[in-house]
Structure 1
């Protein structure tokens, strides 16, 4: 019976119970005046602000945020997925080669491990100096942030390829290219998707950092602009939007992983 209980899937509503309880407590404290509305607006006010931000008539009145939510999210999403795609295109092949070839590992791994601890914020002055206040700087920071978890996890997946599989493939006459594409790469795919999920989370963090400083549009820019003018309701609505965008993009990646790795359980539900 215990084994059956552990194997059963929890209800999707279970994950909403704690957030709903926290929001309810937050709303009660806000309406009672325990929490200052200028610092932490009640959820009902944040929801109303988000609604105006999403569907309000843009270009009318003194509120510059009216009706700009979809455009703002698209700006950020485009930068995230451009940088993320570049990180995959570079990180996966390089990680496979580092995990497979000792010469490539000796040439690239020390450099990667030296650059990996440098935080994204430390790259901001370099990005602005090279790319200016443009999208290219934001995409560079996003791609850089996503690159390291992808390449490190891909390397680990390639190195963990069972030697018996490699020997068997060689005995059957497989070339080095066939070994990489038909043995090493499939074996590394679970680790690659794990690295991609980590990289995607960092990409959403990096886009906010980049948009606060390096560009003048997107969720990060609105976050800082709203804080500067004291619109904490917009700040919190922006934070919730970032969380939702990150969650949905992760769910899409997990769904792709389940389809690609149908032969092996992938990810956490």
Structure 2
């Protein structure tokens, strides 16, 4: 028990080695003048501006002072709304395409034609359709998150061990029972992989949408700060997006570890061997 605890501490420590070294090197290069402060502010400067953005400590960020929580919530709501729609529709449609041949023949060609179109190219149409508000951002997040979920759900269903399906059929299971109790559980690892990819795409697309179609959120602050040459706020916004993206991915990993506990056990046994 004590050895496992020590190993866990060591693993957690190792995760921070590279970020800490990079930040220290960045600070030293900025302080020495190798990196111009006008182009890349020192981490300490970014932290001061970030603190004012969050806590309104010295009003150095002016109109943004103390508004970080509102900007983060605005971006998060757009991400979660678009991501939820993409996850539900992507899983449902992906399972249908992977399981029923007639659905695959009917729908997949159209989806495969739309898939290579970059989500950002939909921005003009999204603004025309939905105006300057939350809806175009949610639409773009949906587009960015939908296809990773869809393709991984299709892959997960198509790669289910056919022996499991035959065994369930021989035991008298109906098609709906096979789909519910055999195919879906077997496809879950692939589906969760798609969900993790999709949450990263969702954050990228909401920031892109906020730069052009919305007047609030972390992406809007990032773009607005660029116009005013406030690169300390630009970096603070980038860090905020990365942190929130990391936390949402971590939350999905927690859900995945609980749902796929049987897979975790197999992985641990495989490592021991």
Regarding TM over 0.5, the answer is yes
Q: Which has a greater percent of helix?
A: 2
2:211 aligns to what?
Answer: 212
2:271 aligns to what?
Answer: none
- CA distance in 1: counterparts of 2:37 and 2:96, whole angstroms: 54
Runs of 4+ displaced beyond 6 Å: none
- CA distance in 2: counterparts of 1:172 and 1:105, whole angstroms: 27
Instruction: Name stretches of at least 5 consecutive residues in structure 1 with no aligned partner.
Output: 1-7
1:34 is displaced (CA, Å) by 1.4
Q: In 2 relative to 1, CA 133–143 (structure 1 residues): closer, same or farther, beyond 3 Å?
A: same
| Cα distance per residue 1:114-135 (max 9 Å; x no partner) | 1111112111111111111110
Q: Is the 8 Å Cα contact of residues 52 and 60 (structure 2) preserved in structure 1? A: no
Q: Which moved more, 1:189-198 or 1:112-121?
A: 112-121
2:51 aligns to what?
Answer: 51
1:246 aligns to what?
Answer: 245
Normalising by structure 2, we get a TM-score of 0.91
Q: Does 1:40 align with 2:40?
A: yes
Instruction: Name stretches of at least 5 consecutive residues in structure 2 with no aligned partner.
Output: 1-6, 268-273
Q: In 2 relative to 1, CA 77–62 (structure 1 residues): closer, same or farther, beyond 3 Å?
A: closer
Q: Is the 8 Å Cα contact of residues 52 and 61 (structure 2) preserved in structure 1? A: no
1:80 aligns to what?
Answer: 79
| SS class of match (1:64) | helix
1:233 aligns to what?
Answer: 232
- CA distance in 1: counterparts of 2:217 and 2:234, whole angstroms: 13
Q: Does 1:162 align with 2:161?
A: yes
| Cα distance per residue 1:78-126 (max 9 Å; x no partner) | 1101110000110001100111111101111111211111112111111
Normalising by structure 1, we get a TM-score of 0.93
The number of residues matched between the two structures is: 259
1:198 aligns to what?
Answer: 197
- CA distance in 1: counterparts of 2:252 and 2:240, whole angstroms: 18
Q: In 2 relative to 1, CA 71–114 (structure 1 residues): closer, same or farther, beyond 3 Å?
A: same
- CA distance in 2: counterparts of 1:57 and 1:70, whole angstroms: 14
1:11 is displaced (CA, Å) by 1.2
1:260 aligns to what?
Answer: 259
1:3 aligns to what?
Answer: none
- CA distance in 1: counterparts of 2:18 and 2:61, whole angstroms: 37
1:226 is displaced (CA, Å) by 0.4
Q: In 2 relative to 1, CA 228–182 (structure 1 residues): closer, same or farther, beyond 3 Å?
A: same
| SS class of match (2:160) | coil
2:147 aligns to what?
Answer: 148
| Cα distance per residue 1:231-269 (max 9 Å; x no partner) | 100000000001000001000000000001111139x9x
- CA distance in 1: counterparts of 2:36 and 2:118, whole angstroms: 34
Please, what is the CA RMSD of the aligned residues?
1.7
